[in-house]
Amino acid sequence: MSASSPRRHLVVWLRRLSTDRIAHHSPAPPDGPLAAVAPVKGAQRLTAVDDEASRLGLVPGMALADARAMYPALAVVDADPRADADLLAAVADWCDRYTPLVGLDPPDGLVLDITGCTHLFGGEVALLSDMVRRLDKGGYAARVAIADTVGCAWASAHHGTSSIVPLGGIRAAILPLPPAALRLEAGVAEALAQAGLKRIADLIDLPRAALAARFGVALVRRLDQALGREDEPITPRLPPPTYVVEQPFAEPIGLERDVLGTLHRLAGRLGRVLEQHGDGARVLQAALFRTDGKVYRVRLGTSAPLRDAEAVTRLFGDRLAAIGEACDPGFGFDLVRLSALVAERQSEVQSSLAGPDGAAELAHLIDRLGARFGLDRVTVPVARDTHIPEYAVAAVPAHAAVSHAVVAAPVIEQDSRAPARPIRLFERPEAIEAIAEVPDGPPVRFRWRRVLHEIAATEGPERIAMEWWRDADGHALTRDYFRAETRAGMRVWLYREGLYGRETGSPRWFVHGLFG
């Protein structure tokens, strides 16, 4: 898309969203005229009506009692704003096939920035026809319009007769429309009508200061937005990808091998684009658009920048295998899109004559495990520079460790004279009952997990106090660790918590690990 391309916006108005949802997505949709109702100011009122009920003269805001008096057989369903919002989000997800810049316009509309995208569909007329056909097939009563500004497109979709406003045709398109087409509050629109300003043409050339003083600054602002004098950016529902390639199909595909074959071709195209920019993908997403409007998004991360098509395909193969039947093709996918949501610089590295690069092999292993189980579930232990046993080793996501070279970092060497640490360290120390000959001495026996153990030999103590920055409340007690061997040959690492007589009068004992 060129920076000089004129902005073009498309507005979708799902004018019967609530009743369309009930009629086409309910297990047992009612027959005949349909209305959704909700309590408003202590009375049940209509919040939405379908086309058949509208032809009978029923309108939103009407009391249910009045509507039933006019048409007793009216089918009534409780309004469900949450379900309507979820359906609007699902339609927005589906509209991502036309442009990645899709914003919500609650409660029943969408706003799309289609600048630079229309040529992919054969022009604006073809794009609009395809969208209307698909929405109608899905059972949605919709009105759509394209214009230079969001305000003009909204006005045309809700109140106009033209679906496509030509470039530079904003003024002519909005002049015959009522002021409500400017997205004004009901009170402002009524005040304008009472003042005799029943069309935008009646007020567009009036002094701005006088309009703002009498009807509020919102009127002037909406007018400026519609005319393009004030910018009105779209807030995309999903973040736009850094790089994207896609493949539409005249005949839908549904087999996994066809999907993976398509992803392989798209990965090759994406890799060439990434290579041209010197980047590699860190977060990839495959979007599978089903013919009935359902969209599956399969996302995976990488431990290092990646643009190799074979590796990308293997990762998505593993991910799809893990997802299984949750990604149901239904009647097939008619569009597959591959996006690099996050990209980083990827420098070219010369191959080693000694053989494969160990770091690259490790990164590939982490990526494949991450595709199967989730990248954050693949962790590696990393040594920390601390003498507190619980914090001496931390499990960090392997992809973060590899990307920051933590795995390859030099291991912190311990002093050869320092006490040995157990092979197995418990995540949480386990309390024991211990008996010592003297309060500050080692135990002679202890009961752990209901078994009494007699101690044959001990080494210690090794005194460890909590670091002051970890002991925020100042309540952590000093620990005296002992390496003990029982008469049965078990070697344990246990400690007494609290200095007798100085920190506590009743020290407690814990087992923290096993040596073998």
CA-based radius of gyration for the chain:
34
Distance, CA of 251 to CA of 265 (rounded, Å):
18
Q: Transcribe 438-465 into DSSP letters.
A: STTS-EEEEEETTEEEEEEEEEEEEEE-
pLDDT digits (tens, 9 = 90+) for 4-19: 568 999 999 999 999 9
User: Does the pLDDT of residue 450 top 90, yes or no?
Assistant: yes
Q: Which of 17-26, 84-93, 485-494 has the lowest mean pLDDT?
A: 17-26
* Structural contact between residues 501 and 495, judged by C-beta atoms closer than 8 angstroms: no
Average pLDDT score over the chain = 88
pLDDT digits (tens, 9 = 90+) for 183-231: 999 899 999 999 999 999 999 999 989 999 999 999 999 999 999 999 9
pLDDT digits (tens, 9 = 90+) for 276-302: 999 999 999 999 999 988 999 999 988
Burial class (CB in 10 A: 0-12, 13-18, 19+), 1: exposed
Better-scored residue on pLDDT, 354 or 45:
45
| pLDDT of the residue at 327 | 87
pLDDT digits (tens, 9 = 90+) for 313-328: 999 998 888 888 888 9
- Tell me the one-letter amino acid at 110: L
Task: Grade residue 413 by pLDDT with cuts at 50, 70 and 90.
Answer: low
Tokens 């935008």 sit at which residue? Answer: 200
Q: Which of 31-40, 199-208, 462-471, 507-516 has the lowest mean pLDDT?
A: 462-471
| pLDDT of the residue at 257 | 92
Q: What average pLDDT score do residues 472-491 get?
A: 88
